[in-house]
Structure 1
Amino acid sequence: MAVPKFKMSRARTHSRRSQWKANNADLVQITVRGRTASVPRRLAKAYQRGLLQIED
């Protein structure tokens, strides 16, 4: 694990952390029982197996 050689100031830490941005989940089109919906890729199999229901 990387260890800093010098103490980083609070302002410097906050400015570094403020640059991080989350990405939107990529959506895929799935069709379950004749209904088409856009869902996150990681949940597509759960919808197809019937573990999650598509809501309108």
Structure 2
Amino acid sequence: MPDCDSDCKGSLTVGKLADLVILDANPLTIEPSKLKDVKVMQTIKEGKTIYQR
């Protein structure tokens, strides 16, 4: 079985493109009842901003 941390997950390296969503709150640290209120602030796909609030 491959080491999933290095073989199955992506990496962030200078020069690579990354798809990324920036949220206005950290969904891992807020109360579960507040998850529905988290807003997308920016979406980046293939190095280009495709959505920005």
TM range, smaller chain: under 0.3
Q: Of Structure 1 and Structure 2, which has the larger fraction of its residues in strand?
A: 2
Q: Of Structure 1 and Structure 2, which has the larger fraction of its residues in helix?
A: 1
- Normalising by structure 1, what TM-score? 0.22
- Normalising by structure 2, what TM-score? 0.23
